[in-house]
């Protein structure tokens, strides 16, 4: 059984698989020298869990508990801070995409629909998809946004979209190349793909090594750098037009939960603290290790 330090067994209890070929460049994947349980490409330095994680396992991972007690203390309660993050990204996207090109928006990994709800005044038509039935039900019932629970690889988005977003999603996917290849078919020529994910090539990731906060398979399976993600996007038909670090707004409650419960296992301490009103306050941090990348679909 493979485990990593500082993370609970439920998150890491999946066996290693034999090395496979790199999904970015096709090079050989070998056990990583300094990151236990992970593999690195001998050619392009892409890093991955390199385990065979099927769709059924992913559905089990991303059930209601993932958003309420596993990865998040309470995803819905974190809504105001998540919305703050999404508004920042929409501001950037407005600069990159003229109003005349903002007609159809589609989100892969839409979760509880907060991004779509923030974007609805900017787009004529918007919809999303998520693997979690609980999340999709909330998005439809509470926010009135069109989110379905399904597998994007087999779902139809209808006519081509002008913008497709994948916020903090690609690292969770069993087959990220196939998702991006499908995105290249679903985004119209000249349209945009926008995504965020951890940057394993960042200074913080390199300094933290195996203790980098983004390393926790099997929920995070893939670890891109700007170079490897840009290379993959180019290979499937996109030109990268914008890259920046993404600040992340979180409540103090969410930060305390991550530090006390997820890392230290101090459930009792967190329970004694969680009703403090000061924990409702939000803070925005940019450690330089999350990248926000926008790419344009080639004709």
Cα separation, 22 vs 43, whole angstroms: 9
Question: CATH no. for residue 166?
Answer: 3.40.50.150
Cα separation, 82 vs 188, whole angstroms: 28
Q: What is the pLDDT of residue 284?
A: 87
Interhelix angle 226-236/176-186, nearest 10 degrees? 50
Name which residue leads in pLDDT, 261 or 224: 224
**Is there a domain that residue 30 lies in?**
no
The predicted-structure confidence for 259-285, as pLDDT tens digits, reads as follows: 766 677 776 776 777 777 777 777 888
Domain that holds residue 262: 74-297
Q: What is the pLDDT of residue 73?
A: 67
Say if residue 4's pLDDT is above 60.
no
**Is there a domain that residue 147 lies in?**
yes
The predicted-structure confidence for 171-192, as pLDDT tens digits, reads as follows: 999 999 999 999 999 999 999 9
Name which residue leads in pLDDT, 155 or 59: 155
* Residue % of the chain over a pLDDT of 70: 85
Q: What is the number of domains present in the chain?
A: 1
- Angle CA 26–150–187, to nearest 5: 60
**Is there a domain that residue 139 lies in?**
yes
Q: What is the pLDDT of residue 56?
A: 66
Say if residue 194's pLDDT is above 90.
yes
Q: What is the pLDDT of residue 276?
A: 77
**Is there a domain that residue 18 lies in?**
no
The predicted-structure confidence for 101-125, as pLDDT tens digits, reads as follows: 999 999 999 999 999 999 999 999 9
Say if residue 137's pLDDT is above 90.
yes
Say if residue 7's pLDDT is above 70.
no
Mean pLDDT for the stretch of residues 71-93: 90
| Residues 89/246, Cβ–Cβ less than 8 Å | yes
**Is there a domain that residue 26 lies in?**
no
**Is there a domain that residue 184 lies in?**
yes
DSSP secondary structure code for residue 298 in this structure:
P
Task: Please state the pTM of the whole predicted model.
Answer: 0.86
**Is there a domain that residue 14 lies in?**
no
**Is there a domain that residue 170 lies in?**
yes
Share the mean pLDDT of the chain. 87
């Amino acid at each position: 059984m493979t485990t990593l330090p500082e993370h609970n067994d439920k998150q890491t209890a999946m066996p290693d698989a034999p090395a496979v070929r790199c999904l970015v460049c096709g090079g050989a994947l070998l056990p990583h020298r300094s990151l236990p349980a992970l593999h690195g490409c001998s050619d392009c330095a892409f890093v991955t869990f390199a385990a065979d994680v099927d769709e059924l396992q992913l559905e089990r991972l991303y059930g209601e508990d993932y958003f309420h007690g596993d990865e998040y203390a309470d995803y819905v309660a974190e809504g105001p801070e998540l919305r703050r993050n999404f508004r920042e990204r929409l501001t950037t996207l407005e600069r990159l995409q003229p109003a005349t090109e903002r007609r159809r928006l589609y989100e892969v990994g839409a979760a509880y629909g907060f991004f779509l709800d923030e974007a609805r005044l900017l787009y004529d038509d918007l919809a999303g998809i998520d693997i979690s039935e609980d999340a999709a039900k909330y998005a439809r019932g509470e926010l009135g946004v069109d989110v379905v629970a399904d597998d994007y690889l087999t779902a139809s988005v209808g006519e081509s979209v002008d913008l497709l977003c994948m916020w903090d999603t690609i690292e969770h996917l069993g087959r990220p190349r196939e998702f991006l290849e499908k995105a290249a078919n679903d985004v119209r020529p000249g349209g945009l793909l926008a995504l965020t994910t951890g940057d394993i090539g960042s200074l913080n990731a390199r300094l933290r090594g195996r203790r980098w906060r983004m390393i926790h398979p099997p929920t995070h399976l893939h670890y891109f750098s700007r170079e490897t993600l840009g290379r993959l996007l180019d290979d499937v038909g996109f030109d990268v037009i914008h890259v920046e670090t993404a600040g992340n707004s979180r409540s103090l409650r969410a930060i305390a939960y991550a530090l006390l419960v997820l890392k230290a296992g101090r459930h009792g301490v967190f329970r004694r603290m969680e009703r403090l009103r000061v924990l409702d306050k939000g803070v925005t941090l940019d450690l330089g290790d999350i990248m926000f990348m926008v790419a344009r679909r080639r004709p």
